[in-house]
Amino acid sequence: MAILIDKSTKVICQGITGAFGAQHTRGCFLYGTDLVGGVTPGKGGQKFEIDAGSSVPIFDTVERAVRETGATATMIFVPPVLAADAVLEAMDAGINVICCITEGVPVQDMIKVRAVLDAMGRSALRADSEMSARSADLPVLIGPNCPGVITPGAKTGGGERSGDPYTSASRGGGGCKIGIMPGYIHTHVSQSRLGRAVGIVSRSGTLTYEAVWQTSRLGLGQSTCVGIGGDPVRGLNHIDCLRLFDADPETHGILMIGEIGGSDEIEAAEFVKKHVKKPVAAFIAGRTAPPGRRMGHAGAIIGGADDTADAKIKALRASGVTVAMSPADMGTAMVKALG
């Protein structure tokens, strides 16, 4: 099951012909993602070459790409000031999982995008009179400024050529990587020594890889890893992922990586105490970061006292979360929490 995406998810890339878009489209394809096409306005009808053995079609619009490929997920690599429009275009075309990798999106753009997303969510919830999580056909935004999301598959190949992907459903594996994370550091539960899988959610890109790598080396697999991004206004937050992981039968424990700034981890701590039944471990980066670089008086008034690492660690511990004090101990904290 995992969360958000799995081996049957069809993925497109918006900005497929840019340098990063091209590099990571290829990377996802070689991992084994069912990557079915890409979008670059003005280049519709052309082909994007994965390698000599394979290519995928390029479309002018997301709407056309969805119609022709049946894609339900997208990864966005367009320039920062075009990212908001790219997210809205994906929503407009009915994409469910929108993963915005782009770094440097203006905050004011994200405030508007997030408001549109929230309005869709609210009206749908009212129509369904549901109190629980988003219904399956509502768009979920991951990011921006994030590494993406991956549901690892069992390693069945080399991952160097299109004919020999890292994980392949036809060879008994099959996973889905949408983003820029190195695939090989992840482990499918079937190939893990301890036979258990954890869900990982993180605000930081490379620190997520560190956490994944540690859990893999300690014998754990990962169900799904979500990099939610470090921007002040974004799509999914810690709580959304905690809820999804807690409901996922293939996830045995949850590792949450936070950092200083904002109050997300405090809210997550309260959520864990009230709702989460699975073991949770956490690490908060920035305990030794010097204060400063704050946004003047008004920022301090809004910020409150909750945004320090120590306040977050305290709140998480009070909710029964196993907190690693060293970033080298994130994996061992997870193993310990699993018991």
Among 181, 197, 200, 337, binds other proteins (CB under 8 A): 181
DSSP conformation letters of 145-171: SS-EEEE-----S-SSBTTB-SS-GGG
Tell the smallest beta-carbon distance from residue 285 to other proteins (Å): 4
Tell the smallest beta-carbon distance from residue 256 to other proteins (Å): 13
Asked if 67 interacts with other proteins (CB under 8 A), we say no
Asked if 180 interacts with other proteins (CB under 8 A), we say yes
Please, are residues 227 and 178 in contact by the beta-carbon 8 Å criterion? no
Q: Which of 24, 186, 252, 297 is catalytic?
A: 297
Interface map 300-329 toward other proteins (x if CB under 8 A) = xxx----------------------xxxxx
Of 312, 230, 302, 234, the residue nearest 266 (C-alpha): 312
Asked if 207 interacts with other proteins (CB under 8 A), we say yes
Asked if 232 interacts with other proteins (CB under 8 A), we say yes
- Helix, strand or coil for residue 113? helix
E strand residue ranges, 26-95: 34-39, 47-51, 54-59, 73-76
Asked if 54 interacts with other proteins (CB under 8 A), we say no
Tell the smallest beta-carbon distance from residue 314 to other proteins (Å): 16
Neighbouring CB atoms inside 10 A of 174's CB total 22
Among 124, 133, 233, 247, binds other proteins (CB under 8 A): 233
Q: What is the spatial distance between Cα 242 and Cα 238, in angstroms, rounded to a whole number?
A: 6
Q: How far is CA 277 from CA 213, 220, 241, in A?
A: 25, 19, 14
Q: What is the spatial distance between Cα 25 and Cα 29, in angstroms, rounded to a whole number?
A: 6
Among 202, 224, 319, 322, binds other proteins (CB under 8 A): 202
The residue (of 65 and 281) whose beta carbon lies closer to other proteins is 281
Q: What is the spatial distance between Cα 162 and Cα 202, in angstroms, rounded to a whole number?
A: 30
Asked if 127 interacts with other proteins (CB under 8 A), we say no
Among 49, 53, 68, 111, binds other proteins (CB under 8 A): 111
Q: Using DSSP bridges, classify how beta strands 197-202 and 221-227 pair: parallel, antiparallel or unpaired.
A: parallel
Among the candidate windows 9-17, 152-160, 208-216, 245-253, which touches other proteins by CB under 8 A?
Answer: 208-216
Torsion of CA 262, 268, 269, 275, to 10 degrees: 160
Asked if 121 interacts with other proteins (CB under 8 A), we say no
Considering only residues 240-269, where is the footprint of other proteins by CB under 8 A? 257, 259-260, 262-263
Tell the smallest beta-carbon distance from residue 82 to other proteins (Å): 11
Q: What is the spatial distance between Cα 335 and Cα 194, in angstroms, rounded to a whole number?
A: 10
> What distance, in Å, lies between the first and last C-alpha atoms of the chain?
23
Asked if 136 interacts with other proteins (CB under 8 A), we say no
> Is residue 238 among the annotated active site residues?
no
- Helix, strand or coil for residue 13? strand
Tell the smallest beta-carbon distance from residue 116 to other proteins (Å): 8
Which residue is associated with the tokens 């275009």? 89
Among 42, 45, 288, 339, binds other proteins (CB under 8 A): 288
Tell the smallest beta-carbon distance from residue 80 to other proteins (Å): 6
- Helix, strand or coil for residue 105? coil
Using CB under 8 A, list all residues that contact other proteins. 20, 24, 80-81, 103-108, 110-112, 114-116, 147, 180-182, 185, 202-210, 213, 230, 232-233, 257, 259-260, 262-263, 283, 285-290, 293, 295-302, 325-329
List the catalytic residues: 297
